[in-house]
A and B are shown apart, each in its own frame.
Chain A
Amino acid sequence: MRVLSLAGRRLAASIPTLFLILIGVFLLLQLAPGDTVDALMAQMGGGDAATAKQLREFYGLDLSVWAQLGNYLWRLVRLDLGFSAIYGKPVATVIAERLPATILLMTASLSFAFFFGLILGVVAARGVNKWPDTLISTLGLMFYAMPTFWFGLMAIVVFSIYLQWLPAGGFEDITVSYTGLRRTLDIALHLVLPTLTLGLFYMAIYLRIMRGSMLEVLNLDFVRTARSKGMDETRVVVRHVLRNALLPMVTLIGLQAGTMLGGSVVVESVFSLPGLGRLAYESVIQRDLNTLLGIVFVSALLVIAVNFIVDLLYARLDPRITTGS
């Protein structure tokens, strides 16, 4: 099981990275003016200095920066993400409430981008410099160049307001409480536009990568060998080219899992989805350090998990990895 030990080593190597990120974010936020108590006081409509002092003591904000950091890391080691003063709940609960929407959005966008990027890339490469290629490449460039928020807004204008086919925002219809399959369908309908908005950008990237690597692999010697065996072109592509061409794409997915989390902040804001991205934005505004660090922690875990899966997948796709030569 060389693959597992290899991937396991990568996993172990990412733990120090995780701590460095957390410490970095923690220190960075100390530089921002104001803290949780300031935000709380503002919410309450103001208060006197004594209350503020009391609150600071209660949340441990009167300690030195290093002591606060030490406290936080010590709690983290015990898998305690702390308590959110703003939401009045443990951070773990706050994040758990928001996580499903983000994971759903990310998985859906990624699958969409991967699947269609792959298909369109293959179609473009097979008809290189003919009209399908030109059409697909032009569309790809358009999606790549269009700002995500603008694309989201335009999608709302066309599909929700003008055509009224799809809901304009939210995770599900809160005016009626559906259950079971009907609820699933409702959520799916709500996610169509956000998924497209986030996914089309990545699809454009994958499509270009796939087209390029297909063209490269099609020129390799073993493709000529396959043709000289008497294999037809479709079979050559499916059995010999595709898997080789997929390798760069798979690498890219691992790299972009993090970027996609960032992109979801914009999309979640545009479509008012209760997701992690929006939560991160709100906790920055409200100086909710505990929640923010919790989000950083969870999203880092997500990225690490995705990379772990990508590592395994890559080893599955490419036998040269496992023997380590």
Chain B
Amino acid sequence: MSPILVLDDVSVKLPAGGDRAHAMANVSLALAANEILCVVGESGSGKSMTANAIMRLLPGGVTIDGGRILFEGRDLCGLSEAEMRKVRGAGIAMIFQEPMTALNPLRSIGDQIGEMFELHSELSAAEIKARTLALLEEVRIPDPALAFKAYPHELSGGQRQRAMIAMALALDPKVLIADEPTTALDVTTQAQILKLIRDLQRRKGTAVLFITHDFGVVAEIADRVAVMSKGEVVEAGETEAVLGNPQHAYTRQLIAAVPPLKAPPARTLSDEPIMTIAHVSKTYRTGGFLGRGQRVTHAVKDVSLVLPKGATLGIVGESGSGKSTLARCLVRLIDPESGEIRLNGIDLASLSREEMRSATRHIQMVFQDPFASLNPRRKAGEAVAQGLIVHGMARPQALARAKELFGLVGLDPAATERYPHEFSGGQRQRIGLARALALEPAVLVADEPVSALDVSVQAQVLKLLAELRQRLGLSIVFITHDLRVAAQVCDLVAVMKSGEVVEAGPIGTVFSEPQHPYTQALLASIPGRDFGEGRELAHEPVA
């Protein structure tokens, strides 16, 4: 089969002063009709730049400085802007990562899909409406007529992504570029969207260029795969061949960093609990005027869990399941309405603000976003020392202790003098860990600590966490949406849905013999779930 889209030795130049000269260096790819080619790589690998280069929608200052992009035999680089506009949408369509922000919030879904026909065809308004409704039907949005009139904020994330797909496929494009289309979605929704893309692609014979960072997704959907690193394609081939028998060292390293879904053999846990959570509830009330028309959300509903000393308790669930609210209740960032949180016999939930402030010594939190959770105007060392100073340590000692802690989490002690923006994502998460560990807490509450990190960095942080647990005798509450990560780090797991714990137990048992239908659905939705089975999580040396 002759390829429909060919990238022939394409280079894309970055503006001077960047960390590298080329976003893409001599990239050659070929995409045939009726196949899905996955471009996989970590952040900064140039995979999204590849999509933008094909569409010729590069950011200012970034230019294609070599090679040809052949679409149906025509070189897109040589087209005028007006000719290129005819290709965009009609010949090559695109869907994006964030379905929330990728649609105009002020215009209805039907209007935005219809725009495709307005731009590229001479159809009448009535015909456009009929075609749009048919499209919404095709992507299996519930109640297409309602969705047609709806605004983006009125649809769920999955529905918005369905609408995006409907829009992209409106004119039956030859090529569909999907830039991380499921990354922002929950795992069950992701499974549905992947299936939808696969089905539509099979039926219409579209060629799909699928960009992702997730090897599970690759295993699930790809016919062929190209691995990118630092702007270069390091390995390409059939999916089974690349995933099963990777040739290039970088590919091997990446695949080794993907946590397998199977839990390692269980550790023996202490019988002594360090923290017991009993009947904790938190309800949010929103809207309503003097009690009328109020909406009540049970964010956390009657949750009871036990954390044995030295163990890691995983709390897994999709967005809106209440897992983060529970985490915040544990450290009293949010006050639970009822229930007990006993840490070493003291009920945290009943402490006054004042008493809680001194009790925070024993329970500390690590947050998800390593970019947003550090004050950009304060030196990293000060961020770490602050807790110590608040709890009464003199400033010079606290700063000296911060240096030690930097060493503990694998950072250069001299780096305490630097500001957060000078660190990479993984390093920032290490700072977050050092900050939490500064007060030598007995319990660490980690809220999605590795979700924002690339898979190889994620593996390093997880390894560090495991080491620290061993060395400091930490007990950890680990909140995550990623079941693969949970399988690797947790001893016990609790599955949450709509504020309730639906299933809890030792991770090996829960994952191999899930009892609750929701747990079963969650596990079944993990893309490429057999991928990586039967192998240990490999750790590369910490940088």
Chain A residues at the B interface, C-beta cutoff of 8 Å = 9, 220-222, 224-232, 239-240, 243-244, 317-320, 323-325
Contact = CB atoms under 8 A, between A and B. Distances in A.
A230 B153 contact: no
A139 to B, nearest CB: 25
B87 interface: yes
A231 B85 contact: yes
Contacts of B89: 228-231
Contacts of B101: 220-222
B115 A318 contact: no
B297 to A, nearest CB: 12
A319 B108 CA distance: 9
A254 B533 CA distance: 61
B102 A224 contact: yes
Contact of B120 (A230, A244, A323): A230
B533 to A, nearest CB: 36
Given A317-B106, A320-B151, A224 B85 contact: no
A214 to B, nearest CB: 15
A225 B165 CA distance: 12
Given A228-B93, A229-B89, A244-B105, 7 more contacts: A227-B57, A228-B89, A229-B116, A230-B87, A317-B106, A318-B105, A319-B108
A231 B119 contact: yes
Contact of B153 (A9, A231, A239, A320): A320
B74 interface: no
Contacts of B153: 319-320, 323, 325
Nearest to B87: A230
A288 to B, nearest CB: 41
The listed residue with most B CB atoms (<10 A of its CB), out of A222, A231, A318, A324, is A222
A229 B119 contact: yes
B86 interface: yes
A225 B96 contact: yes
B113 to A, nearest CB: 10
Closest 7 CB pairs of A and B: A230-B88, A230-B89, A221-B101, A229-B89, A228-B94, A319-B151, A230-B85
Interface in B90-137: 90, 93-94, 96, 98, 101-108, 115-116, 119-120
B115 A231 contact: yes
A96 B504 CA distance: 74
A323 B295 CA distance: 13
B148 to A, nearest CB: 14
B119 A222 contact: no
Interface in B279-317: 287, 289
Contacts of B116: 229
A12 to B, nearest CB: 11
B530 interface: no
A23 to B, nearest CB: 26
A230 B108 CA distance: 19
Contacts of A325: 153-154
A244 B55 contact: no
A221 B98 contact: yes
A186 B153 CA distance: 51
B104 A244 contact: yes
Nearest to B88: A230
B86 A221 contact: no
Contacts of B107: 239-240
Contact of B105 (A226, A228, A232, A320): A320
A86 to B, nearest CB: 45
